[in-house]
């Protein structure tokens, strides 16, 4: 027996991931995201920390929050970890949210 198609509200709620919005709600994390978005490749904590006026350990915690939310990826490079924006995943998530919002809340006539 097949399951019924998800309702509009269910689809919308599936896109509203609290960990994503919590990760994006901090101004320092947004600055870090912007740095990664314009970088020509993955960056280390040290390379990213120059933008924020935050100690390296603080930057590491911010990056962990973004990584846990799936916004950025991390790859080990010897003793260092390099971080990169998961552009495709973030774009897909935000696009999915926009699509669900439009489907649930059509523009007034």
Region of 55 (left: φ > 0; alpha: ψ -120 to 50; beta: rest) is beta
- pTM given for the model: 0.81
User: What pLDDT score was predicted for residue 96?
Assistant: 86
- Arithmetic mean of pLDDT over the chain: 87
* pLDDT exceeds cutoff 50 at 2: no
Give me the residues paired with residue 85 across strands.
72
Give residue for tokens 């609290």.
18
Give the domains, in start order, of the chain with CATH numbers: 18-86 (1.10.10.10)
Task: Encode pLDDT of 34-87 as tens digits.
Answer: 999 999 999 999 999 888 888 899 999 999 999 999 999 999 989 999 999 999
């Amino acid at each position: 027996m097949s399951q019924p198609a998800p309702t509009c509200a269910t689809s919308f709620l599936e896109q509203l991931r609290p960990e994503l919005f919590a990760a994006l709600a901090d101004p320092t994390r947004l600055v870090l995201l912007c740095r990664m978005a314009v970088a020509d490749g993955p960056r280390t904590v040290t390379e990213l920390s120059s933008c924020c006026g935050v100690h390296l350990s603080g930057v590491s915690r911010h990056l962990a929050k973004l990584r846990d939310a799936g916004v950025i990826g991390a790859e080990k490079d010897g003793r260092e970890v390099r971080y990169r924006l998961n552009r495709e995943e973030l774009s897909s998530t935000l696009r999915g949210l926009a699509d669900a919002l439009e489907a649930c809340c059509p523009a007034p006539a």
